[in-house]
Amino acid sequence: MRPAILASFVLGLISTAHAQELKWFKGNTHTHSLWSDGNDFPEMITDWYKQHGYDFLAISDHNVLQAKEVWMSVPAIEKRRKSLGKTTMEKYRARFGDEWVTTREKDGVTEVRLKKLEEYRPKFEEPGKFLIVQAEEISAGLGSVPIHMNAVNLKEEIKPVKDLGSIPEVMRANLRLVNEQSKRLGVPMLTHINHPNFRWALSAEDLASVLEENFWEIYNGHPGINWQGDESRPGHEKIWDIANTLRITEFKAQPLYGVGTDDSHRYHGEDNGPGRGWVMVRASKLNTDEIVKAMQAGDFYASSGVTLDDISHFKDGTLRIRIHAEPGVTYSTQIRGTLRGYDATTRPAPAVKGDLHPARLLYSDDVGKTLATIEGTEVTWKPSGQEMYFRAVITSSKPYDKPSFEGQTEMAWTQPMGWRK
């Protein structure tokens, strides 16, 4: 008897059918530099990511591509650094040499020219080892409500469309610009809606209703984005479950896929630094088209520290996850999902003074219900067949470096499964 081997033949793998040829690639798609409100040069930032085991990076400055001539005054650069020690310019010169740095004097002030992506790209990119993807954080809004979305693998700068009739309309108008560009140029592009709870801007219903979008940030490492929510406004976990449930039931659409990002702005030891959230993408090759296509197919997970060695989804619906064990760390996996016949009642959330968004709805615990909790590094779970979708959230016991909220530990999130009928 060889039941284990027999079982794997009988069940057959769906998502890892070509596991032999596929590899995991680590990347971050949300980063800021001096080109907008970050506090370091893109070369310094790219160097950090490459040195820290990332396979790809997208620097996504607000409403700008690093593709034109821009000069910045040195005092303005140094003012952004909130830490002691060597200056930003000293570190930049030390790393890349005086001959790399272009300065000029203007009205008695030293200015430095920010290098364009195409100038510094050859310094870092290596086939199969490191890839730079062009991106922009399209930073639109409705009045004072920030509506931010990242366009990854963008080729032409997009000027955001703002102040249309509603939040979803603003989202749609900007997403259409990316889709139009992608089609016109024949280049795959990916967008993700960013930090919905930043200034409590977007609701789960907003995310659910904009069917032009299939991605959002389940995790964003910026400490100011209200990841946990509050009693009137759902946190990221619940937002995802509400949006997924509404998409499947009301909009007959696919659930959202969740990315993990840094949204880093500070690179001199401050709180909002790099290395806080990322995606692991399973693709055949490290090139932009393959990465974007794998993400569009949902073959990736989001992480704020936990690494998964494998995610398999069998034909009978069984999910199997192998968690990469770190010594002395324990892991707990929560399977969350919404079942058919769930309690769909809602109630209005308590009003919050000064909230920019119309009052939200609160949903029952059936939306994103905990279907199972599994301890350890080997997770196998078989759905009952009543799930409209399910997903796995892995929480480790390892405290998060520079936490965004009290008690934060490292986590990982798989994409919603079981919804493709």
Cβ neighbour number for residue 270 with a 10 Å cutoff: 15
In the complex, the smallest distance separating the C-beta of residue 170 from Zn ion, rounded to whole angstroms, is 14
Q: Which stretch binds Zn ion (CB under 5 A): 18-26, 80-88, 191-199, 271-279?
A: 191-199
In the complex, the smallest distance separating the C-beta of residue 199 from Zn ion, rounded to whole angstroms, is 10
Q: Report the C-alpha dihedral over residues 283, 286, 289, 292, rounded to 10 degrees.
A: 50
Between 80 and 148, name the residue whose CB sits nearer to Zn ion: 148
Q: Which stretch binds Zn ion (CB under 5 A): 142-150, 199-207, 297-305, 388-396?
A: 142-150
Which of residues 43, 111, 213, 263 is near Zn ion by CB under 5 A? 263
In the complex, the smallest distance separating the C-beta of residue 411 from Zn ion, rounded to whole angstroms, is 20
Question: How far from each other are the two terminal CA atoms of the chain, in whole angstroms?
Answer: 33
Residues whose CB falls within 8 Å of the CB of residue 335, separated by 6 or more in sequence, listed in order: 319, 370, 371, 372, 373, 374, 381, 390, 391, 392
- DSSP string for 276-334: S-EEEEEESSSSHHHHHHHHHTT-EEEESS--EEEEEEBTTS-EEEEE-PPTT--EEEE
Phi then psi dihedrals of residue 307, to 5 deg: -105, 135
Using CB under 5 A as the binding criterion, the count of chain residues that bind Zn ion stands at: 4
> Do residues 197 and 263 touch, judged by C-beta distance below 8 A?
no
Q: Which stretch binds Zn ion (CB under 5 A): 125-133, 144-152, 342-350, 389-397?
A: 144-152
Positive or negative torsion for Cα 194, 196, 197, 199: positive
Cβ neighbour number for residue 148 with a 10 Å cutoff: 26
**d(Cα 306, Cα 290) in Å, to the nearest integer?**
23
In the complex, the smallest distance separating the C-beta of residue 198 from Zn ion, rounded to whole angstroms, is 6
Q: Name the residue number minimizing CB distance to Zn ion.
A: 148
Contact between 262 and Zn ion (CB under 5 A)?
no
Contact between 148 and Zn ion (CB under 5 A)?
yes
Q: Which stretch binds Zn ion (CB under 5 A): 90-98, 224-232, 260-268, 395-403?
A: 260-268
Residues whose CB falls within 8 Å of the CB of residue 268, separated by 6 or more in sequence, listed in order: 39, 40, 81, 82, 83, 85, 88
Q: Which stretch binds Zn ion (CB under 5 A): 95-103, 133-141, 345-353, 360-368?
A: 133-141
Between 265 and 336, name the residue whose CB sits nearer to Zn ion: 265
In the complex, the smallest distance separating the C-beta of residue 77 from Zn ion, rounded to whole angstroms, is 19
**d(Cα 169, Cα 180) in Å, to the nearest integer?**
16
**d(Cα 391, Cα 336) in Å, to the nearest integer?**
5
Between 202 and 394, name the residue whose CB sits nearer to Zn ion: 202
In the complex, the smallest distance separating the C-beta of residue 412 from Zn ion, rounded to whole angstroms, is 22
Contact between 217 and Zn ion (CB under 5 A)?
no
In the complex, the smallest distance separating the C-beta of residue 194 from Zn ion, rounded to whole angstroms, is 5
Between 93 and 402, name the residue whose CB sits nearer to Zn ion: 402
> Do residues 188 and 196 touch, judged by C-beta distance below 8 A?
no
Between 194 and 244, name the residue whose CB sits nearer to Zn ion: 194
Which of residues 39, 194, 209, 303 is near Zn ion by CB under 5 A? 194
| Positions that interact with Zn ion (CB under 5 A) | 137, 148, 194, 263
